Amino acid sequence: MRIVLFLFWMGWMHFAQASDSIIVRKDQRLDLLTAKQAQINKRSAMMTSNGQYKGYRIQVISTTNRDQAFKVKTELLSRFPDQKSYTSYQSPLFKVRIGNFLKKEDAEQFRKTLNRFYPKGVYVVEDVIEYTITDDEDLLQ
């Protein structure tokens, strides 16, 4: 009896393995959906939890002297009118930062320009930036 059951089981296993075949047909729209989702994920990775963008700014000065900080900010506005400058106070320091850069490379390039005017203490810092992404902008680069 055991032999008969064993032979029956072996025959069934052989038949089960022989008839296994799966045909997968991929919808072409799946590639478009995957690319769109990758772009959404890229945008989400660049954002903070409250919907602002993570990026870089250049810190030009960090001083306890308020007048000096505002003097540097005024100079930055006159020399670089196309860039926004920001003054923040974190006790006891006034910090003056400039720019809104998504990529660190862009911030480093602008920092080199700033080094001609401010040779000491100019460096790139991570910060929440003001940025608006257009729909046609490609973030996958």
* Distance from the Cα of residue 77 to its chain's centroid: 27
Asked whether residue 69 is assigned to any structural domain, the reply reads yes
- Mean pLDDT for 53-68 is 94
Q: What is the pLDDT of residue 30?
A: 92
In-domain check, residue 105 = yes
40 in any annotated domain: no
pLDDT of residue 121 exceeding 90: no
The more confidently predicted of residues 15 and 48 is: 48
Report if residue 13 sits inside a domain. no
> CA-CA distance, 6 to 8, in Å (whole number)?
5
The CATH number of residue 67's host domain is 3.30.70.1070
Tokens 């990026």 correspond to: 55
b/e for 20-48, b at 16 or more Cβ within 10 A?
A: eeeeeeeeeeeeeeeeeeeeeeeeeebee
75 domain residue, yes or no:
yes
Per-residue model confidence (pLDDT) at position 110:
94
Q: What average pLDDT does this structure show over 9-29? A: 74
Q: Is the pLDDT of residue 133 over 80?
A: no
Q: Which helix (H) or strand (E) holds 21?
A: none
Give the position of tokens 């700033």. 114
Mean pLDDT, residues 98-122 taken together: 92
Residue 104 exposure: Cα atoms within 13 Å on the Cβ side: 4
pTM of the model: 0.67
Total tally of structural domains belonging to the chain:
1
- For residue 124, CA distances in Å to 22, 70, 99, 111, 118 come to 55, 20, 10, 7, 13
Sheet containing 53-63: which strands, arranged edge to edge?
85-90, 93-101, 53-63, 123-129
Residue 139, pLDDT above cutoff 80? no
pLDDT for the residue 114? 92
Q: Residue ranges of the alpha helices (H) in the chain?
A: 2-18, 29-45, 66-79, 104-115
Task: Give CA–CA dist 124/98, Å, rounded.
Answer: 10
- The whole domain housing 65 covers 55-129
